[in-house]
């Protein structure tokens, strides 16, 4: 008698097992699972950073109630993924793989020239960042001053 998924059972014993998945099929299943995990981690980083909107800007602070720009990045990644990034924007930029603007994804870091500012890209040409004293953590479009000083993108979460 034929069992589930191609198994042949006779007298309650398995006499023929279903064919094993090819290594390509197995690798594809693993890659799909890893891609889903990476996407989930990126979403968690963005959500964590967005949850800080309205918090105060305090130079040198890394949360949970106030942040500077690199402190927000450090806090968001540590809380969402368990990954601890360097504490300063310059060290963060130096330690990560750069990506092009066309390949940017939510959760990527956005660096700006001239002042050491860093933000988290959240999609739709927007960033969440600890702007400066008096403005705190906020969401802004990458345009105007931000667009004119854009220094590039870097990726933290590349694989699960």
Which of the following CATH numbers is that of domain 27-155: 2.60.40.10, 3.40.50.620, 3.90.1720.10, 3.30.930.10? 3.90.1720.10
Beta-strand ranges (E) seen in 1-159 are 8-10, 13-16, 56-57, 66-67, 97-99, 109-112, 118-123, 126-130, 137-141, 150-155
Neighbours of 137 (CB within 10 A): 23
Tally of CB atoms within 10 A around 45: 26
Kindly give the confidence (pLDDT) of every residue in the chain, 160 residues in length, as a single tens digit, with 9 standing for 90 and above.
555 556 666 666 655 555 665 666 655 565 667 778 888 999 999 999 999 999 999 999 999 999 999 999 999 999 999 989 999 998 999 999 999 999 999 999 999 987 789 999 999 999 999 988 888 999 999 987 777 778 899 999 776 5
> DSSP assignment, residue 64?
S
Q: Which of 31, 51, 66 is nearest to 136 (CA)?
A: 66
The pTM of the full predicted model, rounded to 2 decimals, is: 0.78
* Ranges of each domain in the chain: 27-155
């Amino acid at each position: 008698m034929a069992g589930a998924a191609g198994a042949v059972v006779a007298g309650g014993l398995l006499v023929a097992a279903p064919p094993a998945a090819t290594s390509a099929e197995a690798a594809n299943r693993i890659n799909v699972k890893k891609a889903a995990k990476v996407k989930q981690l990126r979403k968690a980083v963005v959500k964590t950073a967005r949850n800080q909107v309205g918090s105060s800007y305090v130079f040198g602070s890394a949360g949970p109630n106030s942040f500077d720009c690199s402190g927000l990045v450090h806090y968001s990644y540590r809380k969402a993924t368990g990954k601890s990034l360097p504490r300063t924007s310059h060290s963060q930029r130096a330690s990560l793989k750069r990506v092009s603007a066309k390949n940017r994804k939510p959760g990527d870091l956005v660096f700006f020239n001239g002042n050491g500012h860093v933000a988290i890209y959240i999609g739709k040409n927007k960033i969440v960042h600890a702007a400066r004293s008096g403005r705190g953590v906020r969401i802004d479009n990458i345009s105007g001053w931000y667009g004119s000083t854009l220094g590039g993108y870097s990726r933290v979460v590349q694989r699960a």
